[in-house]
């Protein structure tokens, strides 16, 4: 009988990725509906001490594979390790973050195990009647949502979009079990050679962490248009963000991109400045608490999702807004 | 180098619109295109062929009209193409699709298989890696650059916060990002050759019956299925200020921010 919800705890250089913590949080909810446990799978080299953190964030157990073969992510060693864990423990569900690692690893594992895999999920729930995992995801370029099921194969597997599920608060008093799992690697498992690892040195913005985003679309006019948005973001204590168009135009780097092919954000405040509101963009920000849109075009679809919409020129309104808020803060 | 490029014909999902009355997708009149990641894959293959010689064969699984996409690839310069098509393959999820395509590939001689990373309709990015597993060959995905050195592939593999330079021996599978190579245009001569000189072979279940397990194809062979699909509910329009002065607009925004205790 397959049992328990397993979550891949993705790590880079020993740092556990936020998406894995979010997935443990979601797995706890699902585990409650199934009356089963949450097990984190931690793969890496010199990684054992990080297992405690996963328990603090909600895992009941952590299965650790600690081996030099797993120091940097390479498909085959990671696939082999996960495959052996799955064959050994027979999980009911396995969840991965839909990162560039998860979306390379999960399909390979699903083919080796011969089970179903659903990609880039934004919703997960246990069906009350069938007890099956309902996996909901955007499809057709983000134009529709589909709910997928995996009825006859186990484990049910899904990669999950980062920034959508909610992490639990860290609780150092939580208790859990740590299991060291040994995988017999051979030289042939490293079937590619890493010639070089080049880490990104410049600051990579994490717009998913910010409570306030001032996001710019084509309407800001040029790369310099982001300067005005940055001023407003600074005075509000937030970050700037961008639509895909400006990233494609080279005005700003991809880590600022919000949307179907960028990041999903759900800040307290999302100001959409000069953004038309194409479905692919809206898919990445529609769950923001408060959406304020400014656009010259009164038929822009962004106004269909905005709580407050203003038809006007962003290049005039944004600086005035910055001034007004600065004044308020001075007088406060 | 014998290169096989797997491509998919997809609707141009960036052109799809929502019918405001019924809240359903308007699929009529949406142009069919070669999936953008796949098109880069074709270009990368053609460039490798230009460097080290060899052949470029296109493979696609789809309905009969996918022939158009294959002809386009032939017009770009690929040598030949195979369309894997059969009613029996209908309703395939990624397991069934990858199993079917792998069964066809098992009948070919190849050094390198290139697939696109992700299709813009299914959006799964799963078929490439699953094909590699079925064939038992190494995969390198998220390829931003590909070079050849002494018969080995050198790939720049992209991650969010870094990249790897990977050396991999053939046979292997690489998944291409749209930015991998700027696809060339078809020439008039190329289009001519695509229809007059070059061949699109049609392979049905019959042609791959010795390499496929019938339990792995189509709807019945798919571990996953769509339980329901729906369009997202429009979020409920809020207040829209049209025809107000910039100062009034700014005041309205400030009021809202104060109302929500953001400032």
Q: What is the pLDDT of residues B200-213, one digit of tens each?
A: 999 999 999 999 99
Is B10 inside any structural domain?
yes
Is B20 inside any structural domain?
yes
Token pair 């079925």 is at which residue?
Answer: B134
Chain B hits for A270, CB-CB cut-off 8 Å, are none
Q: Give start and end residues of each alpha helix (H) in A49-101.
A: 51-56, 75-89
In terms of CA atoms, which chain B residue is nearest residue A236? B263
Quick one: pLDDT band at residue A280, thresholds 50, 70, 90?
confident
The percent helix, strand, coil of chain B (3-state, each to 5) is 35, 30, 40
The dihedral region occupied by B251, where left means phi > 0, alpha psi between -120 and 50, and beta the remainder, is alpha
The percent helix, strand, coil of chain A (3-state, each to 5) is 35, 30, 40
Contact A141 B123 (CB under 8 A): yes
Q: What is the DSSP letter of A263?
A: B
Least trusted range by pLDDT, from A126-130, B24-28, B118-122, B143-147 = B24-28
Q: CA of A291, closest CA in chain B: separation in Å?
A: 9
CATH code of the domain covering residue B43: 3.40.50.620
Burial A293-317 (b: 16+ CB within 10 A, else e): bbbeeeebbbbbbbbbbbbbbbbeb
ipTM of the complex: 0.91
Q: Report how far residue A266's alpha carbon sits from residue A272's, in angstroms, rounded to the nearest whole number.
A: 13
* Two tokens, residue B53: 């010689």
Is B262 inside any structural domain?
no
Is B147 inside any structural domain?
yes
Which domains are assigned to chain A? 5-189 (3.40.50.620), 207-331 (3.40.50.1220)
The pairing of strands B80-84 and A117-121 is unpaired
Q: Report how far residue A268's alpha carbon sits from residue A260's, in angstroms, rounded to the nearest whole number.
A: 20
Sign of the alpha-carbon dihedral angle for B72, B178, A22, A52: positive
Which one, of B141, B94, B132, B127, lies nearest residue B110 by Cα?
Answer: B132
In terms of CA atoms, which chain B residue is nearest residue A328? B263
Is B247 inside any structural domain?
no
Which one, of A261, A267, A272, lies nearest residue A297 by Cα?
Answer: A272
Q: How many domains does chain B have?
A: 1
* CB-nearest partner of B262 from A115, A117, A268: A268
* Two tokens, residue A109: 């594992």
Q: At A109, is the secondary structure helix, strand, or coil?
A: helix
Show the domain range for B53. Answer: 2-216
Is B221 inside any structural domain?
no
Token pair 């190329």 is at which residue?
Answer: B190
Q: Report how far residue A75's alpha carbon sits from residue A173's, in angstroms, rounded to the nearest whole number.
A: 35
Helix (H) or strand (E) holding A51: helix A51-56
Examine the pLDDT at A261 and tell me if it is beyond 90.
no
Q: What is the pLDDT of residues A57-99, one digit of tens each?
A: 999 999 999 999 999 999 999 999 999 999 999 999 999 999 9
Q: What is the pLDDT of residues B53-64, one digit of tens each?
A: 999 999 999 999
Q: What is the pLDDT of residues A228-254, one digit of tens each?
A: 999 999 999 999 999 999 999 999 998
Examine the pLDDT at A225 and tell me if it is beyond 70.
yes
Instruction: Summarize the confidence of residues A141-149 as an average pLDDT.
Output: 87
- Which pLDDT score is estimated for A142? 76
* CB-nearest partner of A195 from B124, B165, B227: B165
Quick one: pLDDT band at residue A204, thresholds 50, 70, 90?
confident
Question: B interface mutation test: which of A2, A94, A103, A129 has the most B CBs within 10 A?
Answer: A103
Q: Tell me the average pLDDT of chain A.
A: 95
Chain A hits for B22, CB-CB cut-off 8 Å, are none
Q: Tell me the average pLDDT of chain B.
A: 94
Contact B126 A317 (CB under 8 A): no
Is B243 inside any structural domain?
no
Which one, of A204, A203, A213, lies nearest residue A238 by Cα?
Answer: A213
Angle at B40 between CA B35 and CA B44, to 5 degrees: 145
Is B257 inside any structural domain?
no
Confirm or reject contact between B219 and chain A (CB < 8 A). no
Cβ burial of A150 (10 Å; 0-12, 13-18, 19+) is buried
Question: B interface mutation test: which of A111, A261, A273, A285 has the most B CBs within 10 A?
Answer: A111
Contact A321 B253 (CB under 8 A): yes
pTM attached to this predicted model: 0.88
């Amino acid at each position: 009988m397959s049992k328990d919800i397993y979550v891949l705890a993705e790590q880079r250089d020993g740092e556990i990725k936020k998406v894995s913590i979010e997935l443990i949080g979601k797995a706890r909810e699902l585990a409650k509906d199934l009356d089963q446990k949450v097990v984190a799978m931690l793969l890496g080299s010199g990684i054992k001490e990080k297992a405690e953190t996963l328990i603090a964030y909600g895992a009941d157990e952590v299965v650790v594979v600690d081996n030099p073969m797993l120091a940097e992510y390479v498909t085959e060693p990671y696939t082999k390790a996960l495959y052996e864990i799955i064959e050994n423990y027979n999980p009911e569900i396995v969840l991965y973050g839909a990162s560039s690692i998860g979306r390379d690893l999960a399909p390979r594992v699903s083919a080796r195990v011969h089970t179903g895999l659903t990609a880039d999920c934004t919703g997960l729930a246990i069906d009350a009647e069938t007890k099956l995992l309902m996996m909901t995801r955007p499809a057709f370029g983000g134009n529709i949502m589909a709910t997928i099921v995996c009825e006859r194969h186990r484990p049910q597997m899904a990669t999950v979009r980062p920034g959508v599920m909610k992490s639990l608060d860290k609780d150092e008093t939580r208790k859990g079990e740590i299991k060291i799992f040994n995988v017999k690697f051979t030289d042939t498992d490293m079937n590619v050679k890493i010639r070089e690892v080049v880490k990104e040195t410049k600051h990579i913005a994490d717009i998913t962490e910010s409570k306030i985003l001032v996001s710019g679309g084509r309407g800001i006019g040029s790369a310099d248009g982001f300067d005005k948005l940055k001023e407003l973001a600074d005075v509000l204590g937030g970050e700037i963000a961008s639509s895909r168009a400006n990233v494609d135009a080279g005005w700003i780097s991809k880590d600022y991109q919000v949307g179907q092919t960028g990041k999903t954000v759900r800040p307290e405040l999302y100001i959409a400045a000069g953004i038309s509101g194409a479905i692919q963009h809206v898919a990445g920000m529609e769950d923001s608490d408060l959406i304020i849109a400014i656009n010259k075009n009164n038929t822009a679809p962004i106004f269909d999702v905005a709580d407050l919409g203003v038809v006007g020129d962003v290049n005039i309104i944004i600086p005035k807004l910055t001034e007004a808020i600065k004044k308020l803060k001075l007088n406060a | 180098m014998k290169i096989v490029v797997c491509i998919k014909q997809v609707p141009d999902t960036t052109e799809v619109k929502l019918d405001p009355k019924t809240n359903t997708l308007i699929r009529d009149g949406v142009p069919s295109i070669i999936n953008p990641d796949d098109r880069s894959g074709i270009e990368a293959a053609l460039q490798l062929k230009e460097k080290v010689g060899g052949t470029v064969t296109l493979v696609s699984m789809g309905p009969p009209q996918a022939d158009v996409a294959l002809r386009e690839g032939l017009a770009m310069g690929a040598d030949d193409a195979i369309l894997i098509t059969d009613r029996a393959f209908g309703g395939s999820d990624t397991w069934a699709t990858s199993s079917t395509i792998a069964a066809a590939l098992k009948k070919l001689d190849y050094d390198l298989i290139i697939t696109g990373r992700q299709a813009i309709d299914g959006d799964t990015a799963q078929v490439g890696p699953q094909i590699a597993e079925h064939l038992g060959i190494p995969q390198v995905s998220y390829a931003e650059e590909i070079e050849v050195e002494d018969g080995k592939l050198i790939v720049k593999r992209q991650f969010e916060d870094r990249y790897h330079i990977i050396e991999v021996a053939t046979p292997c599978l690489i998944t291409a990002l749209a930015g991998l190579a700027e696809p060339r245009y078809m020439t008039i001569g190329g289009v001519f050759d695509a229809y007059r000189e070059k061949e699109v072979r049609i392979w049905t279940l019959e042609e791959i019956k010795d390499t496929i397990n019938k339990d792995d194809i189509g709807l019945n062979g798919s571990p996953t299925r769509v339980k329901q699909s729906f369009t997202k509910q429009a979020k409920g329009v809020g207040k829209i200020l049209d025809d107000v002065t910039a100062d009034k607009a700014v005041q309205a925004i400030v009021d809202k921010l104060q109302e929500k205790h953001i400032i």
